């Protein structure tokens, strides 16, 4: 088999994804993964993410690449590298995957020196979230994930974090399940709920716009409400594209997006609700202003007409009326 669904499943799982050219045909067959091997690169801490990911993809002097199907960098981005069998581990002698080797293992690396380098939370959480997406796709429980150190004890020590705690986190994410991924119908429901858009034609166009605005590599690292806040932000941006009056609040929305990425999703959701009320009030005020302008123009025209009628009836001096007309027309923004 080839895991041609890998990039899509990871995105739907809410992690940022970088697809490396050729990943769909990289890696060998036959391949029938039964367990996932959780690695750390154990490369020098000073070596860049870019170099580490390239080595996992292309191999090195003593090991042909690909070394893993994906590699998670220190920013929590999943680099998708291969869809087939990789040179990811030896035939193990311990743990649930004992006796199994590359033909039955799906491997993922993560950039870490495997010594004292701390795991940034953004990387650790994305590592768990991406593995949860893979488990969900394959119907695996978190127990299918095995640390390389558990597979080849005495020989390997990666990763440095506790595998039981990691599996618990993955299990928790699996339990949250499909709450994370918003379907097209969910997006439409949000659009209707937030903006009251019920016209099917407009709704479809609007929906396409929203899809285009949801960032492909959105750094979703928090919980469901973070994802909802980001989606809501995308809807507000889409609305801005359709309705110029909301343009006034775009800078505030951009500031809010930063706040979402900072993690205070509940507060941001509340503020977004507030802003949507403000936007509606702006539109109402704009309409009121237009109404007032139209009334003023109508009153002006009525007065001018009255003057002309007085001249026609001999009730007013023509020269004085012409002067008055000239004065008013020069002041009028739209001379009739």
CA 233/CA 256 separation, integer angstroms: 8
Residues within window 203-222 making contact with Zn ion, judged by CB under 5 A: none
CA 45/CA 39 separation, integer angstroms: 15
Q: Looking up tokens 């590699």, which residue turns up? A: 71
Nearer to Zn ion, 39 or 167 (CB): 39
Q: Is 220 exposed, middle or buried (0-12, 13-18, 19+ CB in 10 A)?
A: buried
User: How many residues line the site for Zn ion (CB under 5 A)?
Assistant: 3
- Shortest Cβ distance from residue 66 to Zn ion (Å)? 13
- Shortest Cβ distance from residue 224 to Zn ion (Å)? 32
Is residue 39 close enough to count as binding Zn ion by CB under 5 A?
yes
- Shortest Cβ distance from residue 153 to Zn ion (Å)? 12
Please choose, out of 148-156, 184-192, 228-236, 262-270, the segment that lies near Zn ion by the rule CB under 5 A.
148-156
108's tokens: 């993922």
Is residue 158 close enough to count as binding Zn ion by CB under 5 A?
yes
Question: Are the C-beta atoms of 133 and 10 separated by less than 8 Å?
Answer: yes
The 175-204 contact track toward Zn ion, x by CB under 5 A, reads: ------------------------------
The 94-133 contact track toward Zn ion, x by CB under 5 A, reads: ----------------------------------------
- Shortest Cβ distance from residue 68 to Zn ion (Å)? 8
- Shortest Cβ distance from residue 152 to Zn ion (Å)? 8
Nearer to Zn ion, 49 or 158 (CB): 158
Is residue 148 close enough to count as binding Zn ion by CB under 5 A?
yes
Please choose, out of 24-32, 158-166, 194-202, 250-258, the segment that lies near Zn ion by the rule CB under 5 A.
158-166
Positions that interact with Zn ion (CB under 5 A): 39, 148, 158
């Amino acid at each position: 088999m080839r895991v041609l669904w890998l990039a899509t499943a990871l995105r739907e799982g809410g992690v940022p994804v970088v697809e490396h050219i050729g990943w769909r045909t990289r890696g060998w067959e036959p391949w029938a993964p039964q367990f996932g091997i959780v690695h750390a690169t154990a490369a020098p801490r000073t070596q860049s993410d870019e170099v580490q990911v390239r080595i996992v993809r292309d191999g090195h002097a003593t090991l042909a690449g690909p070394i893993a199907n994906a590699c998670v960098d220190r920013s929590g981005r999943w680099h998708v590298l291969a869809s087939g069998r990789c040179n990811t581990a030896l035939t193990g002698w311990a743990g649930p995957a004992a006796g199994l080797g590359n033909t039955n293992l799906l491997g993922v690396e993560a950039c870490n020196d495997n010594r004292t380098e701390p795991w940034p939370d953004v990387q650790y959480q994305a590592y768990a979230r991406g593995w949860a997406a893979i488990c969900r796709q394959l119907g695996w429980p978190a127990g299918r994930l095995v640390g390389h150190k558990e597979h080849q004890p005495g020989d390997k020590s990666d990763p440095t974090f506790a595998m039981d705690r990691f599996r618990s986190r993955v299990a928790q994410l699996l339990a949250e399940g499909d709450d994370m991924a918003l379907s097209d119908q969910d997006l439409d429901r949000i659009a209707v709920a937030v903006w009251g858009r019920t016209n099917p034609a407009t709704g479809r166009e609007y929906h396409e716009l929203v899809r285009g605005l949801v960032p492909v590599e959105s750094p979703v690292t928090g919980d469901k409400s973070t994802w909802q806040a980001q989606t809501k932000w995308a809807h507000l941006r889409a609305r801005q594209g359709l309705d110029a009056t909301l343009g006034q609040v775009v800078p505030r929305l951009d500031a809010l997006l930063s706040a979402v990425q900072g993690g205070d999703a509940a507060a941001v959701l509340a503020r977004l609700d507030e802003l949507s009320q403000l936007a509606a009030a702006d539109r109402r005020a704009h309409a009121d202003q237009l109404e007032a302008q139209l009334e003023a123009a109508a009153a002006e025209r009525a007065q001018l007409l009255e003057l002309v009628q007085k001249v026609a009836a001999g009730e007013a001096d023509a020269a004085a009326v012409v002067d008055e007309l000239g004065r008013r027309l020069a002041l009028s923004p739209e001379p009739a």
